[in-house]
Structure 1
């Protein structure tokens, strides 16, 4: 199966990841169209974060990858993470990795540092866009990042990535550890992000919420893509309901 008709932005071809001799990701082929939200769902330990790190070039020292990562028709396999960012991809990692003692606005401006280094005169032009998306960040722009709530820190991590003006934004478990009301807000923001034209590759354990915002979805199990299809179709697929949505449904 392929994604709905859209200009292809990202493709992985037979992407494999090894930690030593252990194969953590097996021949993953995924496609993200320009302006699409594509989600990867699956259980803990399925290889979801590993996939994002491999695409971003951010595998740990003991990890290695094979296969192709193609962004906007450019082959990025073997290219350093900094150069992948320069080509238009940004990863918001699960741990957010903010500078807690620095002000909110300084954290945001760090996201545009590559553009500043490249000599772009308007390297900070996304600041108004980020503040429009996240009014709370504007209110707290002089506050230390470490004093913010979990939801606000997630907003800051996403905002910092947007400062780089990416074509592709990769989000690793953006709802992790957040209260239900904040999770709802984060997914509302993800929907709004789509309106800015950025494509989103979303890794999530909250399958119900992910399938509601996504255009297309992949189910990753034990390092392999087990299912794929339109997100709306997978949300009604009995296997997905039984495995990933059943408990969530009872909890609501």
Structure 2
């Protein structure tokens, strides 16, 4: 199967310091791929560079097309969306207006289907429909994350990249948000998920990559890696319980 997104020998540097070293990664249509690893491993850098927010070296292919110099504009035009860790909502605008802005690129191309897209987002996140007139600043943390994902879905992405969607959320809300991410697979949206909660990420993903010190240390099926003793000890928090 050909990959929707393919990175080969992908490198990113901050000045003389190389943050990503020859990363090879693939995401296929309708697939959830997660990237796990410790803080500082380069996970956010990976998403930012793949989106064109940071300069990179190596090969990036999307939809079978090589992009010599990935840019945000080029990636958005091809159907890639990014939900950053800080969500970056327009706090003083309503939920509805935040969503409409998410569909602006389609509107600019003459695709006047924003209301239809909004109904689809409300079907995924009914709570946003209840809050549609509220300012984004008044939403709870979980609702803000739902709005950030919903805004990205307004652009009808082929690939959605999510950076730490569970960050700062209560456990029950984390479960709700990640269950929604899992449902995106059924909507035909591929997902590249960076997530600190390795246990939850491996439960919903098809495949996984472990990033350590800017390089891929392990990769494979999510269920396979969830049973790997190295992953259990390092990322799933079971080492102490097993020792006891």
With over 3 angstroms needed to count, the CA separation of the structure-2 counterparts of 1:249 and 1:213, relative to structure 1, is farther
What's the CA shift for 1:244? 0.3
Instruction: Count matched residues.
Output: 241
With over 3 angstroms needed to count, the CA separation of the structure-2 counterparts of 1:16 and 1:124, relative to structure 1, is farther
Identify unmatched segments of 5+ residues in structure 1.
1-5
**Counterparts of 2:13 and 2:20, CA distance in 1:** 7
**Counterparts of 2:70 and 2:222, CA distance in 1:** 31
**Counterparts of 2:167 and 2:32, CA distance in 1:** 19
Q: Which residue is equivalent to 1:96?
A: 87
1:30-49 equivalent positions in 2, closer than 5 A:
30-49=25-44
In terms of mean alpha carbon deviation, does 114-123 or 163-172 score higher? 114-123
What's the CA shift for 1:170? 0.3
Identify unmatched segments of 5+ residues in structure 2.
none
2:161–2:192 contact (8 Å) kept in structure 1: yes
**Which among 234, 237, 244 is matched to residue 228 of structure 2?**
237
**Which among 44, 51, 66 is matched to residue 46 of structure 2?**
51
Q: TM-score, normalised by structure 2?
A: 0.96
**Counterparts of 2:181 and 2:164, CA distance in 1:** 12
Q: Which residue is equivalent to 1:150?
A: 141
Instruction: Flag as ranges the 4+ runs of structure 1 deviating above 6 A.
Output: none
Question: What SS is found at the alignment partner of 1:49?
Answer: helix
Question: What SS is found at the alignment partner of 1:126?
Answer: helix
1:9–1:72 contact (8 Å) kept in structure 2: yes
Q: Which residue is equivalent to 1:3?
A: none
What's the CA shift for 1:123? 4.0
